Amino acid sequence: MSHKIIVPLDVPTLEDAKTLVEKLPQVSFWKVGLELFVSTGADILQYLKDRDKKIFLDLKFHDIPNTVAGACRSALIYEVDLLTLHATAGRKALEAAVAAVKDAKKPPQLLAISLLTSIDSRSLAFDLKVPLELPEYALNMAMLAKESGLNGAVCSPQEVSKLREVCGQDFTLVCPGIRPSWSVKGDQSRIATPKDAITQGASYLVIGRPITAADKPAEAWERICQEIDDEG
């Protein structure tokens, strides 16, 4: 199951990123997000490719259709495996993104952020003024992504079972908000353990600080892999 774990390189410099990759040679799938990409650009992508790693480029595009399509087209040069945009960019932006990558030689899987895992029901209702219950809203955004032709969605492990049931087996569901029982929640709201997320139907787990902030990241990785593989 270790191939289902994606570890984010949430660090500020290329050197920090390389150090983390070297500390965890057993990780085959890395996520590059806003912090690292904004600070150091694309160099890390070539570094990962040179080491045969899979890449999730998590830049969460959120803009008008023309701009989202342009960003997706520009990202094609990196030949990454997964690429994100926000479902709240709307149907036309999602469709434009799909059209922008469809004829590429090696298109990434396009994933829509359904609802950030840091948002809880209270914030959705009172800050964002969304009148739907949170599970219904997350499902609605995932369905919008599917109808628009995206390959999958990023969702919390608390909603993944329903999304799997409705969106089907071929829809890629990537879950951040993963917290082993021995780790701290931090800024995440809608969390579950790695084992529960896999059991509920996640295609991939994104697990950051429980591994990367551990005193011994390789031991934390090993412990998580064992917990996932444990029977019962």
Q: Which residues are annotated as a binding site for substrate?
A: 10, 31, 58-67, 117, 179, 188, 208-209
Report DSSP state, residue 108: P
Residue 65 or 176 having the CB closest to ligand LLZGTKA7 = 176
- Tell me the residue type at 194: P
Residues tagged in the binding site annotation: 10, 31, 58-67, 117, 179, 188, 208-209
| 162 in active site | no
Handedness of CA 213, 223, 27, 168 (dihedral sign): negative
Residue 30 or 72 having the CB closest to ligand LLZGTKA7 = 30
Residue 58 or 72 having the CB closest to ligand LLZGTKA7 = 58
What residues form DSSP beta bridges with 86?
113
Report DSSP state, residue 214: S
What residues form DSSP beta bridges with 32?
57
What's the min distance (Å) between Cβ of 140 and ligand LLZGTKA7? Answer: 16
> Two tokens at 121?
């029901």
At which residue do the structure tokens 């989202």 appear?
Answer: 68
Q: Which residues contribute to the site for ligand LLZGTKA7 (CB under 6 A)?
A: 8, 10, 31, 33, 113, 116-117, 154, 176-177, 188, 206-209
What's the min distance (Å) between Cβ of 43 and ligand LLZGTKA7? Answer: 19
Residue 148 or 183 having the CB closest to ligand LLZGTKA7 = 183
Catalytic-role residue among 63, 81, 92, 196? 63
Q: Across 15-125, where does the E strand assignment appear?
A: 29-33, 54-61, 82-86, 109-113
What's the min distance (Å) between Cβ of 32 and ligand LLZGTKA7? Answer: 9
Pairing status of strand 172-175 against strand 5-8: unpaired
Q: How far apart are CA 120 and CA 30, in angstroms?
A: 26
| 170 in active site | no
Q: Which residue is nearest to ligand LLZGTKA7 (CB)?
A: 208
| 60 in active site | yes
What's the min distance (Å) between Cβ of 35 and ligand LLZGTKA7? Answer: 8
Catalytic-role residue among 49, 53, 60, 162? 60
What's the min distance (Å) between Cβ of 132 and ligand LLZGTKA7? Answer: 17
Q: How far apart are CA 165 and CA 6, in angstroms?
A: 23
Residue 88 or 99 having the CB closest to ligand LLZGTKA7 = 88
User: At 179, is the secondary structure helix, strand, or coil?
Assistant: coil
Q: How far apart are CA 185 and CA 168, in angstroms?
A: 29
Q: Contact 162/135 with Cβ under 8 angstroms?
A: yes
Which residues are designated catalytic?
58, 60, 63
